[in-house]
Amino acid sequence: MPLLDHFRPPLHTLRHWEGFHHAWATLIAKHLNDDVLPRDYFAEPEIQLGPELEIDVATQRNLDFPTAGAATAVWNPPRPKQVVTVDFSRLEAIEVRIFYDIGTIELRAAIELVSPANKDRAETRDTFAAKCASYLRHGVSVVVVDVVTSRRANLHGQILEMLEAAGRKPIWQSSTGLYAVAYRATPIRKKPRVEIWPETLRIGKPLPTLPLWLQTDLVVPLDLESTYQATCRSLRIPA
């Protein structure tokens, strides 16, 4: 199935891109767990859209405090000394995380599905790039998939700027503004470097298979096309 434009009519008016990205991340994780990852690895989707906060603890008025037969005074904190406005939308993320289970779990790779909010302002672009750069600095491989047609931004270039690698060689840029890029950080003679596998994406064309690095000597294929097809079928999106 060729890549469709999920952010412009006619498909954008018939299907919500949020639902598609959510389903795609889930099916990528399922495909990796069912067919690709070694036994000691597992994948989990992580979805965080918009500023909403889910709170599963009781409010103060509904708390049941234990008593020992005597009345217990309820302590009320003082008023806050400072209140600041924050923008939680900058934390928007649609990703699949791959962990290594060695008794405790260790994050080994992250697959980032770019959202419009990741590209719309300098602050959100910086936040996204900083997260990817932080992963790489800690030895976590990264794959970035950008199929957002409604906004243009070279997040790949900003990731390299965060790594202070942008000025050394010309920055690769997709001719269509859509792309998928695999990254891995590897030490060479005690000098860390980042290896990059960029692929241009085109509306109407199949998606590529990229390397997903789990260790410096362990890599598995990330088949974007098969998971994309499965997602479209599951949501009854016609080709």
| Alpha carbon 58 to chain centroid, angstroms | 30
Task: Specify whether the CB–CB gap between 184 and 195 falls below 8 A.
Answer: yes
Q: How many CB atoms lie within 10 A of CB 26?
A: 18
* Cα gap 50→85, rounded to integer Å: 15
Task: Specify whether the CB–CB gap between 210 and 199 falls below 8 A.
Answer: yes
Q: By CB neighbour count within 10 A (0-12 exposed, 13-18 middle, 19+ buried), where does 236 fall?
A: exposed
pLDDT of 86 reads 53
pLDDT of 168 reads 62
pLDDT of 136 reads 95
Q: What are the pLDDT tens digits along the chain (239 aa)? A: 799 999 998 888 788 999 999 999 999 999 999 999 999 999 999 988 765 434 333 333 344 445 555 555 677 778 876 666 555 555 678 999 999 998 899 999 999 999 999 998 899 999 999 999 999 999 999 999 999 999 999 999 999 999 887 566 778 899 999 999 999 988 776 778 899 999 999 999 999 999 999 998 999 999 999 999 999 999 999 87
pLDDT of 11 reads 87
Q: 3-class DSSP state for residue 45?
A: strand
- CB proximity list for 130: less than 8 A, separation 6 or greater: 162
**Side chain identity at residue 10, one-letter code:** P
pLDDT of 65 reads 44
